[in-house]
Amino acid sequence: MSDNWEILRRECESCQGCELHKTRTNCVFGVGNENADLLFVGEAPGDNEDKTGIPFVGRAGKLLDEYLNAVDIPRESVYIANILKCRPPKNRDPLPAEEDACMDFLRRQVKLINPKMIVCLGRISAMRLIRPDYKITKEHGEWVQKGNFLITAVYHPALLLRDPRRKEDMLEDMKKIKSKLDELN
């Protein structure tokens, strides 16, 4: 039987592949255009996301929305997901075993969406999807071809809330993403 969104969501919501299912309020599956050319992938849900079941709805999500608006990419035109579908306690970094438990869900989402571009939001996502030794401060905004996908990484919006000095770099990276998106369409 071939995969579809309903099956994938149901399997994800009933997942018990790691201990995080015991403490989640909601599975944070992903949201957006299921035929998007552009997929954003963060690391894990935070508290607001756990409460709503929707990725990037807290302060970091609002900042991401501001960047999307600044470069004229409607949030409704993209798909946004995380590697982890459940919130780690106290928003700690995901453990490798937790990432491993969720990666199949993300792979299946990517296969269903079939985006032209994937943007990793932050170091952890980039280390998982681009390269384990990825250096976000040196390599953000650089494009990598992996299979059928163009992939880049940008600073995680939560980092920008803690370190506003990097906001200009983020804006430049988002402009490059918009330019590349226009080029591919």
2 pLDDT higher than 80: no
Q: What tens digit of pLDDT does each residue of 66-101 get?
A: 999 999 999 999 999 999 999 999 889 999 999 999
For residue 119, the cross-strand partners are: 40, 152
The Cα–Cα gap between 15 and 66 comes to 33
pLDDT at 183: 94
12-184 has which fold? Uracil-DNA Glycosylase, subunit E (3.40.470)
Q: What tens digit of pLDDT does each residue of 10-55 get?
A: 999 999 999 999 999 999 999 999 999 999 999 999 999 999 999 9
Q: What tens digit of pLDDT does each residue of 103-152 get?
A: 999 999 999 999 999 999 999 999 999 999 999 999 999 999 999 999 99
SS (H, E, C) 8-73: HHHHHHCCCCCHHHHCCCCCCCCEECCCCCEEEEECCCCHHHHHHCCCCCCHHHHHHHHHHHHCCC
pLDDT at 68: 98
- Residue 22 CB neighbour total at 10 angstroms: 8
Residues constituting the chain: 185
User: Residue 79 — φ and ψ, nearest 5°?
Assistant: -115, 140
156 pLDDT higher than 60: yes
What's the one-letter identity of residue 62?
A: K
The Cα–Cα gap between 32 and 26 comes to 17
pLDDT at 1: 46
pTM over 0.85: yes
- Residue among 185, 173, 150 nearest 68 (CA): 173
